Amino acid sequence: MLPANTNTMDFTATPLRRCSSALALALVAAVSCTPGTAHAQNLVPNPGFEEADSCVPLPPFEGILDWYSVNGSPDHLRSCLPYGTFNGLPMNYFTYQEPYEGESCAGMVTYWQNGQFEYREWIQAPLLEPLVVGQTYWCSFRANAAFGGNETYPQFWLANDKVGMRFTTTAMAQWNVDDPYPVPPDHAHILYPQVLSDTVGWTLVSGSFVADSAYRYVMLGQFFSNAQTDTLHFVDPASVYPWYPRAYTLVDAVCVSPDPDGCERSQGIAELGEATPFVYPNPASDVLWIGNADGREALVLDMLGKQVWSGRVSGGRFAVGVDSWARGTYVLQVRSDQGVQAIKFVLAE
């Protein structure tokens, strides 16, 4: 949701458990474990934001179990709401997007540029058990950049970097209207270092860290000031009125585990922080921009595998005219020394 000082309206996936068997010495057969002793336990309650008291359109983040707002007014986006409702799925005020898994996800403002005003939205939940000091934990969640939606004047025209996960030993106070906004700490334990610009797919944000405190709470959001945040325009500001330099990110499938196999882990170089190719806007209509692919050979295939474009990318931002292409889903393939990287994008009216 947007802060009250704007002139716009105010507005679970089951934890991963693995059952193993234990062999006793001689006469004891294999004994299966129970969920309470599962090895690859997810320490995050309600990780897919599925569990809630009821299905109502407003208020946006009340009634959800375990999670609550500690900064601003994030949104509980739900498929059980009527199509096009403010916080429904797939169509809502902010974007058009199916959840990564299940029927729900969360959404929050992750960048806001308005002079000295640096609004953010953060959510927090208690872990099922405290982290152990000195132990390594593996973490992950899925994120998606919002673009579009059914608002008459769309509010979100940017994507930003450093969307991440932060841990605390004490609970932050639940945020209420008229409360001051916390100052960004400019720190996250797990983050996505690149601009998270994919508006179609769900980007995997993952990593590991060694607990230096007995952390009891996990937070999601963007925890860095505007001065330390990089952004990307989905469209030229001169082509949009009114222009709102803001970013909004959806999150789903949150995981924290002491087991290296307990959470999703990135396998490709795209999640390792290197400058990998991307496209924007996504969905596109007239022009598709390709970034981080200077000097590389690229081609575009339709969903039947037919090549519709090929060429060599030049410059940090390269434009491809797509206004005459059929509307639908395409795949951009970019060749590099590491192999071929594929990026899916959509053309819409």
What is the pLDDT averaged over residues 138-152? Answer: 92
307 within 8 A of 246, measured Cβ to Cβ: no
* Residue 269 reports pLDDT greater than 70: no
Tell me the whole-structure pTM to 2 decimals.
Answer: 0.72
Query: 266 falls in which pLDDT band (50, 70, 90)?
Result: confident
* Residue 159 reports pLDDT greater than 90: yes
3-state secondary structure of 35: helix
Dist. CA 192–CA 163, nearest whole Å = 6
Tell me the per-residue pLDDT of 76-87, one tens digit each, with 9 for 90 and over: 999 999 999 999
Of 166 and 266, the structure prediction assigns the larger pLDDT to: 166
Query: 230 falls in which pLDDT band (50, 70, 90)?
Result: very high
Q: What are the tokens at 145?
A: 């950049």
So where are the chain's domains?
Answer: 41-274, 287-347
The rounded Cα 287 to chain-centroid distance in angstroms is 25
Asked if the peptide bond before residue 57 counts as cis, ω within 30 degrees of 0, the response is: no
Q: Which CATH architecture has domain 287-347?
A: Sandwich (2.60)
* Residue 8 reports pLDDT greater than 80: no
- Does the domain made of 41-274 have the CATH classification 3.40.630.10? no
What is the pLDDT averaged over residues 281-304? Answer: 88
What is the pLDDT averaged over residues 184-198? Answer: 92
* pLDDT value of position 2: 61
Give me the residue label for tokens 């953060």.
122
Dist. CA 246–CA 91, nearest whole Å = 19
Tell me the per-residue pLDDT of 101-133, one tens digit each, with 9 for 90 and over: 999 999 999 999 876 678 999 999 999 999 999
* Residue 16 reports pLDDT greater than 60: no
